[in-house]
Structure 1
Amino acid sequence: MTAKPCSNSLAVKTSHVLPPDTNYHGTLFGGKLMAHIDDVAAIAAERHARKPVVTASTDSVDFLAPVKAGHSICVEAFVTWTHQTSMEVFVKVVTEDLLTGDRKVCTTAFMTFVAVDDNGRPVSVPEVYPETEQEKTLHTLAPTRAEQRKERRKQSKELAATFGTSFPWNKGV
Structure 2
Amino acid sequence: MFKKVDDSRITISELMLPSHSNFSGKIHGGYILNLMDQIAFACASKHSKAYCVTASVDTVDFLNPIEVGELVTMKASVNYVGNTSMVIGIRVEAEHIQTGRTKHCNSSYFTMVAKDDNGNSVEVPGLILNDKNEVKRFLKAIKRKKTKLHRIKEFEHADFSHHKYNEELIKHKVKIELPEQLD
TM over 0.5: yes
3-state SS in 1 of match to 2:31:
helix
1:43 CA drift (Å): 0.4
Q: Structure 2 unaligned segments of length 5 or more: list them.
A: 158-183
Structure-1-length-normalised TM-score = 0.85
Note the 1:37-116 alignment, pairs <5 A: 37-116=36-115
AA aligned opposite 1:5: K
- Post-superposition CA distance 1:5-64 (Å, at most 9, x none): 111111111000001101122211000000000000110000000011000000121111
Structure 1, unaligned stretches of length 5 or more?
A: 159-173
Q: Is the 1:72–1:95 Cα contact (8 Å) retained in structure 2?
A: yes
CA distance in 2, matches of 1:46, 1:12: 14
Structure with larger Rg:
2
Tell me if 1:19 matches 2:18.
yes
Matched letter for residue 37 of structure 1 = M
Identical aligned pairs, as a percentage? 31
Indicate conservation of the 8 Å contact 1:59/1:149, yes or no.
no
Which stretch has the larger CA shift, 48-57 or 130-139?
130-139
Matched to 2:118, the amino acid is: N
For residues 56 and 149 of structure 1, do their structure 2 counterparts lie closer, same or farther at Cα, with a shift above 3 Å needed? farther
CA gap of 1:156–1:7, structure 2 versus 1, over 3 A, is farther
1:91 Cα deviation after fit: 0.2
Deviations 1:67-100 (A, max 9, x none): 0001010011011111100001100011000011
1:118-157 mapped onto 2 (5 Å cutoff): 118-151=117-150
Letter of the 1:145 counterpart: R
SS at match of 2:61: strand
Structure 1: which 4+ aligned runs deviate by more than 2 Å?
Answer: 147-158
Equivalent residue number for residue 161 of structure 2: none
What's the RMSD between the two structures over aligned residues? 1.8
Query: SS of the counterpart of 1:63?
Result: coil
Give 1:146 shift.
Answer: 1.7
Aligned to 2:29: 30
Q: Distance in 1 between matches of 2:53 and 2:44?
A: 9
Closer, same or farther in 2 for the Cα pair 1:154/1:98, shift >3 Å?
farther
The equivalent residue for 2:179 is none
Q: Whole-Å Cα distance in 1 between the matches of residues 39 and 6 of structure 2?
A: 14
State the shift of 1:149 in Å: 3.8
**Aligned partner letter, 2:117:** D
- Report the AA paired with residue 140 of structure 2: L
Contact 1:80–1:130 at 8 Å: present in 2 too?
Answer: no
Query: How many residues matched?
Result: 157
